[in-house]
Amino acid sequence: MSTALDNLALDRTDDGILTITVNRPTKLNALNAATIADIKQAMEMARDDERVRGVIITGSGEKAFVAGADIAELAGLDEVMGRRVAEAGQEVFCMIEESTKPVIAAVNGFALGGGCELAMACHIRVASDNARFGQPEVNLGLVPGYGGTQRLTQLVGKGKSLELLMSADQIKADEALRLGLVNHVVPQAELLNFCRQLLTRIISKAPLAVGMVIDCVNAYYSPERNGYQAEANAFGRCFRSADFHEGTQAFLEKRPAHFTGA
């Protein structure tokens, strides 16, 4: 199944993988308000469609994943409007981060500003060997607005995060891998296939358990939640699921498990 929103191309395969492609090639897939709204709609579709088991987010073309925000749109904002734009973007990126269906960023080129923030909101990041990452907002007299100061620090640590945020330096894919910003680096021609293979392995596991893993890991970073208690609660809930009974029975019978997500 293939469809499109104004700024996205959507493709759902029979194995349950939805690929969301940011499709503004003449703007290097830069994020504007309409594109953020389209991503929100696509993630809502993924959440509500039982046929979708996992999501890949990428950019059109070979040059850019998302090369940043649409500067022409930002130039006309005042303080109140700027805060609202940031809050709207944060809402959508938190929706990605909190999705109980796994989301992989296939970073096929420049991931700058909002693009880097979009990639960091995904659960796993795979970069092509020509990818570049950076938060160049201070070059414009800005700070990241979609969660970049928070997620970059979580991923690479305080000192390196501050250096990258304050210097606006771009880093190559191999450096992003060394820092833990990405999980894998592969040749660009192999990027989407690698992501599909990785996501296929993940969605072959018990869907409820995979979703609970995401929630428990996110709980570690939430000041309002006790991550250990979240884990204990999730562990307990697993015992009433059909997937737990199927998984344990399949293990004892030495056969593949057939999970239903119940």
Please identify which residue in the block is written with the tokens 């499109």: 4
pLDDT value of position 70: 86
- Give residues with Cβ within 8 angstroms of 184, minimum separation 6: 126, 127, 177, 194, 198
Q: Is 117 a catalytic residue?
A: yes
Under 8 Å between Cβ of 135 and 69: no
Task: Name the active-site residue from 62, 137, 224, 246.
Answer: 137
Q: Which two tokens stand for residue 190?
A: 């192999």
Measured on CA atoms in the order 6, 7, 13, 16, is the torsion positive or negative? negative
Angle at 221 between CA 218 and CA 222, to 5 degrees: 90
pLDDT in tens, 16-40: 999 999 999 999 999 999 999 999 9
Residue numbers of the chain with a pLDDT score lower than 70: 1
Question: Side chain identity at 209, as an amino acid letter?
Answer: A
- pLDDT, one tens digit per residue, over 103-149 is 999 999 999 999 999 999 999 999 999 999 999 999 999 999 999 99
Based on the residue annotation, tell me whether 224 is a catalytic residue of this protein. Answer: no
The residue among 132, 133, 182, 137 whose CA lies nearest residue 155 is 182
* Token pair belonging to 97: 């981060």
Name the active-site residue from 62, 87, 97, 117: 117
Q: What is the pTM of this model?
A: 0.96
